[in-house]
Structure 1
Amino acid sequence: MSFILRWVAAFILLAATYNPTPYNYVKWVLGPQGDSLSLMVLAGLLLLIGYIIYLRATLRSIGGIGVILVLALVGALLWVLYDMGLLDLQNSSLNTWLGLLALSVVLGIGLSWSHVRRALSGQADMDDVDQ
């Protein structure tokens, strides 16, 4: 259940930044400028903090090669769904959502991988060990 929560949080972070609807940070900032610059900066900083947490944890736990492997696995799954006729890639809005889903899976796995490794091997990951 904890993986699902981490994945959903990653999806919300990515979708809040950009999605095909008019309700996202990028369209808000690039839209007509009102007197809400302070809110835009605050929201941007909150998103940046979320990205730093997720990206740092992902790169430390699965590394760059792990990111590529997870993206390749998700891409292969989408390819299979397309070949079986279950997925139509003509809709650009759907493609954007699929991209958000793929990236959120990478970030969710990256944030959860240390917990999975500890459960499977009984060993904890440590970055800095004080003696």
Structure 2
Amino acid sequence: MGRSFLIRWAAAILLVMATFNPTSLNYFRWAQANTGEQLSLVVLFGLVLFVGYVIYLRATFRSIGVVGIGLVAALVGALLWVLRDIGWISFRDPDFTTWIGLLALSFVMAVGLSWSIIRRRLSGQTDVDDIDDAEA
């Protein structure tokens, strides 16, 4: 994997983990505890996270679409199934399962954001974004 993909995946992991994770260090738990005293900060940080999700999800839907998201999720699911079958992981611990789900979600988001770069490297073809006709 290229360094640019790993950077996009790390940013997606940070976004997903900052929003929610099994520990107490996440936006949802912090917002529940601080809505009364620090509502303005809760709203500000919520909007920052929302902007991050809009960027990632919009790019993901535009680049690979619903079918692509399903295929990447299916590949991740199949990989997890193989790892469980060979005994490398177990889904008995709900916290571990949550971490795996968050990593899988961030991976799908990173693939979506990086798809044009991945396809260009694999095929040698360059994508051209759709440009709205401003004269119409």
Distance 2:117 2:34 in 1: 44
One-letter amino acid of the structure 2 residue matched with residue 15 of structure 1:
M
Counterpart position of 2:59: 57
Residue pairs, 1:3-82, within 5 angstroms: 3-31=5-33, 33-82=35-84
Q: CA RMSD in A?
A: 1.5
Q: Which moved more, 1:26-35 or 1:15-24?
A: 26-35
Distance 1:32 1:39, change over 3 A: closer
Normalising by structure 1, report the TM-score.
0.93
SS in 1 for 2:28: helix
Distance 1:82 1:122, change over 3 A: same
What's the CA shift for 1:129? Answer: 3.5
One-letter amino acid of the structure 2 residue matched with residue 52 of structure 1:
V
What's the CA shift for 1:17? Answer: 0.4
Distance 1:39 1:28 in 2: 10
Distance 2:9 2:127 in 1: 20
Normalising by structure 2, report the TM-score.
0.90
